Structure 1
Amino acid sequence: MKPVPVTALLAAVTLTAPAHASTTAPIGGDALGSRGLVKPDGVEAPPKTQATSFVIADVDTGQVLAAKDAHGRYLPASTLKTLTALTLIPKLDKDLKVRPSENACNQEGTAVGLSPKVTYKVDDLFRALMMSSANDAAMALAETNGGVPKTMRDMNAEAKRLQANDTVAKTPSGLDKPGQSSSAYDLALIARAGLANPAFRRYISTKVAKFPAPKSYYEISNHNKLLWRYKGMIGVKNGWTSKALGSFVGAATRDGHTIMVTIMRHDGYFWDEVAKLLDWGFQVRGHVPPVGQLVDPIPPVRPTPRQVAVSPAPGVASKAPMVNTASKQTDTTRKIGAGVIGGALLFGVVWLGFGIRRRRRSSA
């Protein structure tokens, strides 16, 4: 199914609550400005969830199939690590070796147990970040990227590039901080971009991996429970803090199609609810008009091509920059004239001397 123009999205959409009061149109379509449930007409509503906000989307087409408070800004908790990974994977060599600082090793919250006595590859740190939701790995990666301030600038620039305008990153780990925010819609944008990156996809789909230890290694496992129990689950990321409550981004593929679900502010056990939302997405995809669209990233600004002088075609006036040759011609003329005059004078002197010698010989 081809993407439907944003202006046509409201034609077959049911809104169950008033839209946000805003002077600008919501990214992805007007219907996504609603705080209530938005679904296509003619189909049953998605299964109930305790999440305050959610989005169900077709990853292949970018079509939003249903949503609730899609642009509501909430604390993202560790789902923000999707933005950390997406931003830093292209910047850091996966084979680069890192000795973490004491600051990185002492981060609060979920950790993989980094030690300042062990050298880790960046590849190890990304696995810990996305599989074990390791805050110490998040800090170590940020410091490797040049420090937290630079990494925050990079992450927020990446969010703007993706048009994830509800997202403000304040920490690389997603630990709560005033002013930090994201939305279910933005998390879908970020995860969709991540799924197009082979390294990102590898980290989120790994179930178990070996992780370096001071004397050997130990095993770490993925915190995404649906990797173990939902058919076709690719993975992505879950998060939780006491202020943010539960959040999750998950994607699964069946019969060549990929559906994504994002939820925010869920106060409880959400795994079964997410599985049912995914089932609903697979059931309706391709059969209903979308209620919105996951927009594409902003294209990079291409530099203006440098001007190059090109020989004109026959009969076409040259547009190459003009060169002032008058002075060159004048200089050349002066040089030729001076040479002619000098040669004439030299000839005259020689001829005069020859004549004098002849006269002297004749008078002797």
Structure 2
Amino acid sequence: MWTKLVPVTALIASVSLTGGTAYAAPTTPVGGEALGSRGLVTPEGVKEPPKTQATSYVIADADTGEVLAAKDPHGRFLPASTLKTLTALTLIPKLDKDRKIRPSENACNQEGTAVGLSVKATYKIDDLFRALMMSSGNDAAMALAETNGGVAKTMSDMNALAKRLQAYDTVAKTPSGLDKPGQSSSAYDLALIARAGLANPAFRGYISTKTSKFPAPKGYYEISNHNKLLWRYKGMIGVKNGWTSKALGSFVGAASRDGHTIVVSIMRHEGYFWDEVAKLLDWGFSVRGKVQPVGRLVDPLSEVQAVPRSSAPPASKVTPAAQPPLLDTAASKQTDSTRTIGSVVIGGGLLFGLIWLGFGIRRRRRRSGS
């Protein structure tokens, strides 16, 4: 048995942000009933996953889509640069990788982590995708968005793809993942997006490249992948890490062993998470194919599909969340540390709460993330 806490994303109808196809959101948590919990959800008969400081995580079999364990999987948090997975997945099919561009001053002057674009240099789109996924270049993210027709169009494209993937917790407001009011994702959605990315050969190539030469106004310089596990973890394919002072640490990664791939996503980690992620991956490999999954990563929708109701596998044990249910404090007590959206039933009615971080944030370069 589990305690059901349905995320607000499962209760509100979704409409297309592009004015095109509309997708109606499901009435149960995407991936299964058990994934509506804000606590730890694990299969019966095995030890719980290793401890992690992450507020939210998902461990899944990328081949089958089976979710092996999760903690607050649909909790909405700031994604930081893990959002670049959606940026890449959206734009790779839209932009010719051999096209050459000169970036704008706006792109070159983006705050936070940058690859070092120059208005005096010419870059292939292929170079910019490597800068985006290897070096987490916010300048590259903006240059790609501008090449796609501008930030507004790119946000529309990214949000439309998120809906088609059934990543309903995800709202993109920036191509780089830099914090902005209203932007969000979840550990479940990051795993869903990463799984879709792994099926794209170009995406997979960018995330797995360790080092590469990058153009400069005169010559080249070397860039390296920020994913430390590419050097440390056996079978690591890659994907993306992120950090801002508001979002804290986030990461989604995939590794393959003996023909099987495990994906792990974490959000809102306060410290050094690499060793913890490695242990979560190890746990995933150790139990895959041996336990009843607690949910599943759903498949993308076609453009004419409505969202199907998610059915839960006969799960598992659910440990109550350490944090309180959403909206258990009054709106007057909201602070800059509030990072969730939720709902609570009061007197038979539904009170929707929107608690957004970031209003009036004055960003400084040294606090910006990767």
Same fold, TM-score > 0.5, yes or no: yes
Contact 1:18–1:36, Cα closer than 8 Å, also in 2:
no
Instruction: Check if 1:210 corresponds to 2:213.
Output: yes
The CA deviation at 1:19 is: 2.7
Aligned 8 A contact 1:237 1:250 in 2: yes
Amino acid at match of 1:281: G
User: Which whole-Å CA distance do the structure 1 matches of 2:182 and 2:284 have between them?
Assistant: 32
Match of 1:69 in 2: 72
More helix by share: 1
2:163 counterpart residue number: 160
**1:153, CA displacement in angstroms?**
0.2
In 1, the alpha carbon distance for the partners of 2:47 and 2:6 equals 24
1:83-139 deviations in whole A, cap 9, x for unaligned?
000000000000000100000000000000000000000000000000000000000
1:290 has 2:293 as partner: yes
In the alignment, residue 205 of structure 2 is paired with which amino acid?
R
**Match of 1:236, as an amino acid?**
V
Percent identity (aligned): 84
Q: Does 1:240 align with 2:243?
A: yes
Residues in 2 aligned to 1:190 and 1:250: alpha-carbon distance in whole angstroms: 11
The 8 Å contact of residues 20 and 35 in structure 1, kept in 2 or not, is answered as no
Instruction: Name the count of aligned residue pairs.
Output: 288
Contact 1:58 1:285 in 2 (8 A): yes
Deviations 1:244-284 (A, max 9, x none): 00000000000000000000000000000000000000000
Structure 2 counterpart of 1:224: 227
TM-score normalised by length of structure 2 = 0.77
> Tell me, what secondary structure is at the counterpart of 1:281?
helix
2:144 maps to what in 1? 141
**Counterpart check, 1:190 vs 2:193:** yes
Aligned-residue RMSD, C-alpha = 1.2
Deviation of 1:299 after TM superposition, in Å, equals 1.6
In structure 1, which of residues 243, 260, 276 is the aligned counterpart of residue 263 of structure 2?
260
> SS at the partner of 1:56?
strand
What does the per-residue CA deviation read over 1:298-330, in whole Å, with 9 as the maximum and x for residues that have no partner? 02349xxxxxxxxxxxxxxxxxxxxxxxxxxxx
Asked if 2 retains the 8 angstrom alpha-carbon contact of 1:205 and 1:236, the reply is yes
The reply on whether 1:19 has 2:17 as its aligned counterpart is no
Higher relative contact order (CA 8 A, sep 6+): 2
Task: Deviation per CA, 1:283-307: give whole Å up to 9, x if none.
Answer: 00000000001000002349xxxxx
2:253 is matched with 250
In 1, distance between residues paired with 2:304 and 2:54? 38
Secondary structure of 2:176's counterpart equals: coil
1:18 Cα deviation from its structure 2 partner: 5.6
Task: Find the partner of 2:32 among 29, 32, 56.
Answer: 29
- Which 5+ residue runs of structure 1 have no aligned equivalent? 1-9, 303-364
SS at match of 2:212: strand
Gap regions ≥5 residues in structure 2: 12-26, 306-370
Q: CA contact under 8 A between 1:131 and 1:206: conserved in structure 2? A: yes
**Secondary structure at the counterpart of residue 264 of structure 2:** strand
Partner of 2:15: none
Alignment of 1:103 with 2:103, yes or no, is no
AA at the equivalent of 1:238 = N
Tell me, what secondary structure is at the counterpart of 1:278? helix
SS in 2 for 1:87: helix
Q: Which runs of 4+ in 1 moved over 4 A?
A: none
